[in-house]
Structure 1
Amino acid sequence: MAGWVETKILGEPWDVDRRIAEMGLSMDGLINSVRAARTASGNATALHPSNAAGTFGYHEGVASLRQEFIGDEWVIDRKDGVETIRNDRKGLKIGFCNVDRACGDKAPKPRSDKGAASERACGPMLFDPEELRFFVRGDAVGLAFYYLMVDDMGRAELTRPKISGKTFEGAVERIFLLPEGDEEDMLLNLDDDGIAEDFEPKIVRK
């Protein structure tokens, strides 16, 4: 039986920069995606539905990730309706998610329910119920699905979560990108009430 391993948390700038480079990403590209999402969320007004800020931010966050990174190695991936970028050489997928609190002591929670497709992408639930904050099964390491997670203060992390019961239940790895938020961020919050973040589209004939 696989042993339990401690959740890996990277917060020092040199560790973060090294890990981001290993993943075939760039800090500038990730921060640009955070800012694009936050700018889009700021387009929501009191006349929009209550989940508009989060929805706008999610759409632009995904689009910006693709604009920043697709090319020789990264490609668009929409498997099972989960919108990501994928790097087969690195064995990685990355999506975008609005969360309650990035870069905190506890692993973030998504502001909208995660569907069955997202749970399959992140792998089966492999957490010790008594240690959700810190430990995961060692055999979870082969599942490399990360989210660029952004909260309503502009804090951001790149994190590989595990999903159970439509939410995140701990993480394999957390990489703190903007633990204090973004000084250039002057936007609204990312409140989501039932945002259709990982919906699986159905095509119906008339």
Structure 2
Amino acid sequence: MVGPLGLELNSNMKKLISQRKLEANRKNSVLGSQATKDKFLQPYLASPNHCKMCGTMLPFEKKKNAFCSKSCAATFNNTGRVRVPKYEKVPCQHCGTLVSHNKKYCSITCSSTSRTKYTPKEAEQVRKNRTREASAAYRAKLRNQTPPDADRKAIAEFYANCQKGYEVDHIIPISKGGLHTLSNLQYLTITENRKKGSKMVPAEGFEPPILRL
């Protein structure tokens, strides 16, 4: 029969064993974490991430951060961010003047004029012409090939007057550096335009437009 002293010794022994097991587990956990870190550290050092503001290399522990400090984050948010308009302006559906993305016309005059009654076939042709003009204007804008002094209303009218069976063509294609100007436009039949593709087929008396900066 175990006496009080023996029970106390057994209890102390169990506590000691439990404490040693806990310490061993902690040690193994630390070693495992270090081994895992070492496994990924070398590849990270070969291609580290840097602070978006000051360019300082981010420590491995903070590799997912965008900035090295709160100071850099605040500075970037105040001065480093390039703000762009949420929506691009779109051409007026009648004259081609750029208007807010949620508007169809630039003025009451254009809105009233555009409400002219068309036959179904004429209305479809008008819709196609407007779509093509807007597409061409957008492509030219992306390439910065619409001169500041370009007559957008005249260009829009040129597209609007395009008859069925014909298409508006850029004599010098936009892809080849041509400008989105009235003097660089011509009417071609659909077949002729398909054959022409991105080649230059000038109209009689054509003079290449000059971009004025």
**TM-score when scaled to structure 1?**
0.23
In our comparison, the structure showing a higher alpha carbon Rg is 2
**TM-score when scaled to structure 2?**
0.22
Structure ranking higher on relative contact order (CA contacts 8 Å, 6+ apart): 1
**Greater share of residues in strand:** 1
